[in-house]
Chain A
Amino acid sequence: MLKEKGYFQRIRNHVRWLTGVVVVFLIVAATLITYQYTNNQVIEPDYASKIVVDPSSVQGAPSSGVGYRSKFDSPKRIATYASASRTPLEDLHGTITPSDLHFERHHAGIPEIDPDQHELLIHGLIDKPIRLKLADLKKYPSVSRICFIECSGNFRYGKREMTPGEVCGLTSQSEWTGVLLSTILRDLGVKPEAKWLLAEGADGALMARSVPLKEALTEAIIAYGQNGEAIRPQQGYPMRLVIPGFEGNTQIKWLRRIEVTDEPVMTREETSKYTEKVKNDKIRMFSLVMDARSIITFPAYPKKIETGWQELRGIAWSGRGKVAKVMVSVNDGKTWQEAHLQGPILEKAHTAFKFMWNWDGKPTRVLSKAIDETGYEQPTYSQLVEARESRGGYHFNPVVGWDVEKSGQVYLADIKDIL
């Protein structure tokens, strides 16, 4: 009996021991699996790998639903505030801004809008007020147009270590697709006393702006497409107003209402904001059109250049039409030469300019100046200050330059020193 009891005791001990091992194993396995699923990061060795794989001798990555950038060249927006981010102009090629690098400015965050729940109401001084869903909007004949959108508060300076995007990255260019506002209003019977329209967004700020009807009707688009896809939430999904050449704030995103009126509403954004102090103690309002401007994006901070030939590059644009000419100086304004403009030169669009320059290694300053088809020449800081008796504010578009030091290092030139 005792012998038998000891035997069972031993078996029981074995079973206990085995159960213990299995439990420990299961805990370890569960921990590892949880770790794998919760930790998505690729584990990189913390030393430089000596193994270089020749891409022509291995199979590459498979295809995917959505493409991605090369990990070696992946520009980011410059986030300045929670309510704004800038386009890294210095990282772009050509003139189209990738949609995910388009600058952002919002006054109550980015709303998430289900297009099935969203409607655009058009009413006011018209015979037939209507409600349109996104699907309705897409039924109208469509237009596509490449143009820039620029915030009118798009100039920063104050230190040498600033990139083109930090100086004026609140401008971006897209191909916008949608319906001309005139196409829709043609159906609705606009009354003769109609002079303005109020556009209102569906965001937390119910952002609203008044725009003169005559100017808006010729070119305004109610857009739903941006660079071949739906407008991104940051740019106004599912629909926004695009008024080529006008200041960005008028191009209401998340558009939910258009009221045709005889008078401007005088919203906060067209009185307390987006107005600028000018001379004789005046405040200028409804400064809607963006004046001509340019910036050299190479060479620019933080780049360092080598002596010899380089292609000086930049973008120029005007809200009043085409860029006629861009003049560049590689000797701090002593002499100016005409840059090559990349065609097609489109109205109210970023236009790329280039200039071949043989740098001799001596410290110098490079400058650019846009001239548009109306004959407007981009002013210097001192010319603007003199004309407005104001040292900044909205619609401040001075000539900007870059100092090239002996080492080839490039810095933002002191704006007050550009004559």
Chain B
Amino acid sequence: MNSKFMVSFILGCIVVLLLRCSPAGESTAFTDTGPESWTDNLEEYKKTWPDKFGIGRSADKDFIARWDIDVRPDGKGLPKGTGRAKNGALIYSNKCASCHGINGVEGPEDNLVTSSNGRNTIGNYWPYATTIFDYVRRAMPFNAPGSLTDQEVYDLTAYLLFLNGIINVDYSLTEQTLPAIEMPAKRKYVLDDRQGGPEIR
């Protein structure tokens, strides 16, 4: 029993030594395991998914109406209303002039009105008038975003368009007339045409 154990122990040691000493290829060469991707086996995994997850709760019309605030160039999303530059002037001097300057050119924040300083403004750079309504209602004034009423936003939009010489002072800006305004910069806009490959664009 004891000698058998000794023999197997010695044999075992020899095997281990042989294994360790055998030249198992270059020790510094590594096998390239090929590309790895986030999509590896994803299609296989998808086959195990149910047809429907049915997660979350359905959103009703009222809920969507409260959240759906965006205004598109075709006027979709604009509330009914009429804006006038004269009314906008007062709101502007109270709520906007401290950041954009009393004439829309003095800063310190973005220039809103075209002047000789060459800066991008609503008048020379913005392609759609509806964007003014969408953005002012969404994010302005900076110290109280979302606090303006639709009426105030209409009046301010009219005032900013008037300051840039795009509408007259007595123009009535409505959900019908605002989308129809052709902005001077619109003709300059082109869609991205970069597509990879050797060409630099």
Contact = CB atoms under 8 A, between A and B. Distances in A.
Interface in B119-158: 120, 122, 125-128, 130-131, 134-135, 138-139, 142, 145-146
Interface residues of A, number: 70
A208 to B, nearest CB: 6
Contact of A145 (B38, B58, B125, B188): B38
Given A108-B142, A266-B130, A268-B135, A372 B196 contact: yes
Contacts of B200: 379, 383-384, 387
Contacts of B44: none
Nearest to B135: A268
B69 interface: yes
Among B37, B70, B125, chain A packs the most CB atoms within 10 A around the CB of: B70
A140 B69 CA distance: 28
Interface residues of B, number: 56
B45 A141 contact: yes
A271 B198 contact: no
B196 A283 contact: no
B59 interface: yes
Given A206-B138, A267-B131, A282-B189, A320 B196 contact: yes
Contact of A139 (B53, B127, B185): B53
B17 interface: no
A387 B201 contact: yes
Contacts of B138: 205-206, 208, 267-268
A144 B56 contact: no
Contact of B73 (A204, A205, A266, A272): A266
Interface in A175-219: 183-184, 187, 198, 200, 204-206, 208
Contacts of A376: 196-198
Nearest to B121: A272
B37 to A, nearest CB: 7
Interface string A284-322: 111111010000000000000000000000000000110
A288 B130 contact: no
Interface in B28-67: 32, 35-38, 42, 45-46, 49, 52-59, 63-64, 67
B196 A374 contact: yes
B63 A121 contact: yes
A200 B70 CA distance: 9
A139 B42 CA distance: 17
A267 B36 CA distance: 38
Given A265-B134, A344-B35, A128 B189 contact: no
A286 B191 contact: yes
A166 to B, nearest CB: 23
Nearest to A388: B201
B80 interface: no
Given A123-B59, A129-B59, A140-B53, A268 B134 contact: yes
Given A272-B135, A285-B192, 9 more contacts: A123-B68, A144-B38, A200-B70, A206-B69, A265-B70, A266-B72, A275-B189, A283-B127, A379-B200
26 contacts: A108-B142, A108-B145, A121-B59, A121-B63, A130-B59, A131-B56, A136-B56, A198-B70, A205-B145, A206-B139, A206-B146, A263-B72, A263-B73, A264-B72, A266-B72, A266-B73, A278-B201, A281-B188, A282-B188, A284-B191, A285-B189, A285-B190, A287-B192, A375-B198, A384-B200, A387-B200
| The 8 nearest A-B residue pairs measured at CB | A374-B196, A268-B135, A145-B38, A130-B56, A287-B192, A129-B59, A132-B56, A204-B145
